[in-house]
């Protein structure tokens, strides 16, 4: 198992970086629009310099859990990453749908259509991110 982890450690760090950037983007979007994320204390999103440690801790935790899961089964590792990506992109699309897209469409569209546009864009982002991770770990899945 150690040769497997040694050969895939750059890929695992890339996945950790993706998760760290996603959590930082979600926290930054909440900070920009003055809302509170459900998964972080309110005080952690007030200052920009606090987003780096939050993203680093989340990315490191996802790498450590990913290593433990990858040692068992590669498909479970993909499902674990799919769950994390789905939660982050769903949260990001909800925040952007309530604030950014509503302002972008000047309240001309009904709220449900605005949320649908945001949700579709968020799901597409999550899908392409997951396909990038699948491409990195394709030899393990065959």
pLDDT of residue 54: 79
Q: Is residue 142 part of a domain?
A: no
Residue with tokens 């459900």: 38
Question: Using CA atoms, how far apart are residues 125 and 131, in angstroms rounded to an integer?
Answer: 10
Q: How many domains does the chain have?
A: 1
Sign of CA dihedral 129, 81, 101, 51: negative
Residue 1: the pLDDT is 64
Residue 61 has pLDDT above 90, yes or no: yes
**Which structural domain range is residue 119 located in?**
2-137
Position 60 pLDDT exceeds 70: yes
Lowest-confidence range among 24-33, 47-56, 96-105, 115-124? Answer: 47-56
Query: What are the pLDDT digits (tens) for 28-37?
Result: 888 888 777 7
**94: closest CA among 124, 114, 74, 72?**
114
Residues whose CB is less than 8 angstroms from the CB of residue 100 and which lie 6 or more positions away in sequence, other chains included: 29, 33, 118
- What pTM was estimated for this model as a whole? 0.85
């Amino acid at each position: 198992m150690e040769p497997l982890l040694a050969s895939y450690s750059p890929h695992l760090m890339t996945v950790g970086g993706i998760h760290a950037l996603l959590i930082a983007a979600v926290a930054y979007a909440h900070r920009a629009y003055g809302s509170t994320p459900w998964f972080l204390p309110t005080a952690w999103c007030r200052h920009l310099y606090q987003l780096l440690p939050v993203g680093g801790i989340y990315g490191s935790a996802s790498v450590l859990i990913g290593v433990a899961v990858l040692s068992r089964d590669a498909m479970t590792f993909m499902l674990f990453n799919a769950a994390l990506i789905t939660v982050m992109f769903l949260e990001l699309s909800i925040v952007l749908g309530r604030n950014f897209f509503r302002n972008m469409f000047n309240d001309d569209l009904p709220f449900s259509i605005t949320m649908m546009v945001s949700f579709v864009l968020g799901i597409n982002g999550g899908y392409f991110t997951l396909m990038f991770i699948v491409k990195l770990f394709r030899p393990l899945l065959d």
